[in-house]
Amino acid sequence: MTTEMEHLVAALEGLRAGVLKKLTGLSEEDARRSTVASGTNLAGLVQHLTFAESKWFEGVVAGGKAGRGARSMVVDPDVSLRGLRADYRAACDASNAIVAAAGDGDSLVDLNGRTVTLRSVLVGMIEETARHLGHADIIREQIDGRTGR
């Protein structure tokens, strides 16, 4: 039987895989191309999600330094798509290891003087990833017509 935490991590892993799939077959140029007025692009979404993973799990849950990715959706031209993918996967792997070591969903995390559960951090990351995967779906469809997860 799957535990609640295993279920939450599996749901997040499915969304993470969807994010990475949106980059499949894209050129560096297309990954950075924006099709919306805000300037959001696929490379920027991945960079931002890498930051979110690192901030919430390495920074908040583990109490360490969150040093991966960037909050900004503007990706430095020297950063390759391959590098973005690798950084995102590394952040996700680190997050999974932190969750596994933390124990159950009732484990408490200090969030700037407020206590939250590990479960709520996981649900928040699921929401963040799902929201941006939806953005990625639209941007990818506008780039080359590719749809689906």
CATH fold of the domain at 4-144:
Four Helix Bundle (Hemerythrin (Met), subunit A) (1.20.120)
Give me the tens of pLDDT residue by residue for the chain, a chain 149 residues long. 668 889 999 999 999 999 999 999 999 999 999 988 899 999 999 999 999 999 999 988 888 888 888 888 899 999 999 999 999 999 999 999 999 998 777 777 766 777 888 899 999 999 999 999 999 999 999 998 887 66
What is the C-alpha to C-alpha distance for residues 29 and 5, in angstroms, rounded to an integer?
Answer: 38
- Residue-range domain boundaries for the chain: 4-144
139 and 34 Cβ atoms separated by less than 8 Å: yes
Category of 74 on φ-ψ map: left (φ > 0), alpha (ψ -120 to 50) or beta? beta
Supply the pLDDT for residue 62.
86
Helix (H, G, I), strand (E, B) or coil at 89: helix
Q: Indicate whether this model's pTM tops 0.85.
A: yes
